[in-house]
């Protein structure tokens, strides 16, 4: 009888909390780590949570963003906004739990992977210019901790690549 009650209880709980159940008992650092890996699955999990933030309210994540800071969010029309938001999320939340230095390189690598996945959605003709900008944005955060280090000359170089592609 007790076994039957336990089975009914487990099945009921699984029905009530089907998605995200793996995170239900995880601590904030574990969830944060799962959402800041340089994989598409990690980015998808973060984005799903971003779209349903109320579900994660008990973790007190900082979802604020200034997108790509002082650099363009959509340089030359390439939309880096969501990648920048994901990067901000990693930086802000690792700083909040006091483990930023140990996680900075991985969050920067996640950012670069997000940017490259975004670039892969553009046509092969303009993709090299997008990858060039993705590398520039990655180098800025990796080396200087900020996209403010992106220079106009970096944007001009990518612009020249686009012009060359259009001339072909």
Active site residues: 87
Locate 150 and state its tokens.
Answer: 């992106």
| Cβ neighbourhood burial of 83 (10 Å; 0-12, 13-18, 19+) | buried
Contact, 122 vs 88, CB < 8 A? no
Contact, 35 vs 102, CB < 8 A? no
- Cα–Cα distance measured from residue 133 to residue 127, given in angstroms and rounded to the nearest whole number: 10
Residue found under tokens 């995880």: 26
**Residue 38 belongs to what H/E stretch?**
none
């Amino acid at each position: 009888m007790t076994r039957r009650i336990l089975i009914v209880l487990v099945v009921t709980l699984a029905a009530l909390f089907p998605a995200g159940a793996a995170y239900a008992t995880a601590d904030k650092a574990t969830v944060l780590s799962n959402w800041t890996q340089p994989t598409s699955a990690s980015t998808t999990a973060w984005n799903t949570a971003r779209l349903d933030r109320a579900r994660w309210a008990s973790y007190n994540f900082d979802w604020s963003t200034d997108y790509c800071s002082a650099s363009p969010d959509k340089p030359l029309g390439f939309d880096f906004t969501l990648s920048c938001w994901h990067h901000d999320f990693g930086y802000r939340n690792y700083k909040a739990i006091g483990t930023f230095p140990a996680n900075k390189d991985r969050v920067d690598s996640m950012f670069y992977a997000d940017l490259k996945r975004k670039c892969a959605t553009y046509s092969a003709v303009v993709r090299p210019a997008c990858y060039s900008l993705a590398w520039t944005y990655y180098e800025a955060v990796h080396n200087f901790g900020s996209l403010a280090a992106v220079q106009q000359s970096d944007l001009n170089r990518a612009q020249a690549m686009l012009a060359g592609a259009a001339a072909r």
